[in-house]
Amino acid sequence: MFAESPIKDVYRKLVWGPYRELLGRAPAGAELRFNRRLGAVVARLSKGKRAQLVVNLRRAFPSRDDLDDVAAEAFCTHFADQYISWSFARIARGEGGPYLRVEGLHHLDRALQGGRGAVLLHPHMGVPQLPLCVLGARNYRVNQVGGGGVEGPISEEGARVTQLRHRLEQDIPAKIWDGKGFIRPVLRALTRGELVLSAMDGTGGGKELGRRVVREVLGQRMRLPVGALWLALRGEAPILPMVTIKNPGPGPLYVTEIHEPMPLRRELPIDDALEHGADLSARWLDLWLREHPGDWHFWDEFEPGRFLEGDLP
């Protein structure tokens, strides 16, 4: 195992030990708020990382003067998501109400009336696994296409925590498919009327999987995956844009919005239909990132040589 910083391993032991046990006794949903506060503390201590996020944010928003606040909010978002696996068992038992409100379910239910399943196309915003778990707990048959994962060396304690997180993720009432594997089972799920969640922005932290096309997002040429679009076209299924953001009003801390199906050009050859679908996907991503920048997880990837075209200087 790689010898990471001893301080980081001490932090892992504290957070995944007594801190997690303490939050397990708190009311359902309270752990999200505590973990966001932990993120705010780490943001204040991580001046270098925060400065890097500001540099990348400035590519997207050159005229904004609140980018340090947006970067701090991104820390809070990351920490809410980083430890959401602690909550999956509670949500699966039917306690999802304090965590997430889902809006636009009528769009989804109407789309499913066609006899096929549906693809839910989403960015990594808010806590993206919350709708996966909540919809599964509400008896929707849900699948997720994952992949990539964080690459790089890790300590023995880091490996232990990773294994624990994977065990906790088994409480999600959904099937998780490896994006590096065969895609045929996912197509079969669509023919059975099931849901498939797939990302519109990438995986981050590791090797990106699948075909990408370049589109302008926030004034930058960004590489966008088209795997979800391909599934919808080949599976003859509707594809609905979906986003999860911090709730600006009362109620659960997060809200998921499901929108009407995207008007794919299914009569076109597959490559042309994918290009058109990528145009639609880019517009949704651009809109959501402009409206809710602090909810996105990948500002550290928003630079040339990673999510953007070109090489770092």
pLDDT one-digit tens code per residue, 81-104: 999 999 999 999 998 999 999 999
Q: Can you tell me the mean pLDDT for 191-201?
A: 97
Reported confidence tier of residue 180, pLDDT bands at 50, 70, 90 = confident
What residues contact residue 144 under an 8 Å CB cut-off, 6+ apart? 129, 132, 174, 175, 176, 177, 196, 197, 198
Selection from 196, 265, 272 nearest residue 231 by Cα: 196
Query: Burial, 298: exposed, middle or buried (Cβ in 10 Å; 0-12, 13-18, 19+)?
Result: buried
**What share of the chain in percent tops pLDDT 70?**
94
* Residue 210: per-residue pLDDT: 73
Region 268-282: mean pLDDT is 98
| Predicted confidence (pLDDT) at residue 305 exceeds the cutoff of 50 | yes
User: What is the pLDDT at residue 47?
Assistant: 96
Say whether 170 sits in a helix, a strand or coil: coil
pTM for the full model?
A: 0.93
Instruction: Identify the pLDDT of residue 62.
Output: 98
pLDDT tens string 1-31: 334 578 899 999 999 999 999 999 999 999 9
Burial class (CB in 10 A: 0-12, 13-18, 19+), 14: exposed
pLDDT cut 90: percent of the chain above it: 85
Q: What is the pLDDT of residues 154-175, one digit of tens each?
A: 888 989 999 999 999 999 999 9
Two structure tokens written together for 209: 């999987």
User: In 3-state terms, the chain is what percent helix, strand and coil (to 5)?
Assistant: 50, 15, 35
The confidence score (pLDDT) of residue 2 equals: 39
Q: Which two tokens stand for residue 108?
A: 């989804």
pLDDT, mean of residues 266-280: 98
